Structure 1
Amino acid sequence: MAGVGFFGMLLIGFLAGYIAERSMNRNHGLLTNILVGVAGSFVGGTLAGLLGITYYGFLGNLVVATLGAIVILWFFGKKSAST
């Protein structure tokens, strides 16, 4: 999340985690949403880089972080369902 600053990163992380949580029918708290969203930004950014996708600005970071957070929730949801 280059260029958004610390509070921008937290805001994007919260929004991405919240959107991912709602789209995956999960129920987590504020801190978990932020952590999943920030981790999702790293996952989404890595995947976007590997696929050659460029993104810019607040909205681009939000979309990439949300998609990454959805991947994280899907992966851990699938893992916990099989155990």
Structure 2
Amino acid sequence: MAGLGWIAAIIVGAIAGWIAEKIMSSSMGLILNIILGIVGAVVMNFLLLAIVGSTLGGWFGQLIVGVIGACLLIALTRALRRV
């Protein structure tokens, strides 16, 4: 996560995963929320850098990016389970 330390990345990842869980009406545990939030933020940061050329910075920016990324990962997981 851009500019955040490990502890901050875990905190922001957990919050992003929890928000994504509520948005997507999914039921997951704390560990999976943290993983989805962090991985979602990494994936979305990569996509934003590739497409737009920059990403959102700071805690709040990374929270937004993490929520969007985690929602995409939840949707992808649901789509793959149906196949």
What TM-score do the two structures reach when normalised by structure 2? Answer: 0.91
Partner residue in 2 for 1:80? 81
Shift of 1:47: 1.3
- List runs of 5+ in structure 1 lacking aligned partners: none
Partner residue in 2 for 1:68? 69
- Checking the alignment, whether the CA contact within 8 Å between 1:14 and 1:34 is kept in structure 2 is yes
1:25-82 deviations in Å (ceiling 9; x for gaps): 1000100100111110111111111221431111111111111111100001111123
d(CA) in 1 for partners of 2:71, 2:47: 13
1:11-34 deviations in Å (ceiling 9; x for gaps): 111011001111111000100100
Letter in 2 for 1:57: G
Letter in 2 for 1:47: L
Partner residue in 1 for 2:19? 19
Aligned partner of residue 32 in structure 1, secondary structure: helix
Partner residue in 1 for 2:42? 42
What TM-score do the two structures reach when normalised by structure 1? Answer: 0.91
What is the root-mean-square deviation in Å for CA atoms of aligned residues?
Answer: 1.0
- List runs of 5+ in structure 2 lacking aligned partners: none
Shift of 1:2: 2.3
4+ runs of 1 displaced by more than 6 Å? none
Letter in 2 for 1:66: V
Partner residue in 2 for 1:2? 2
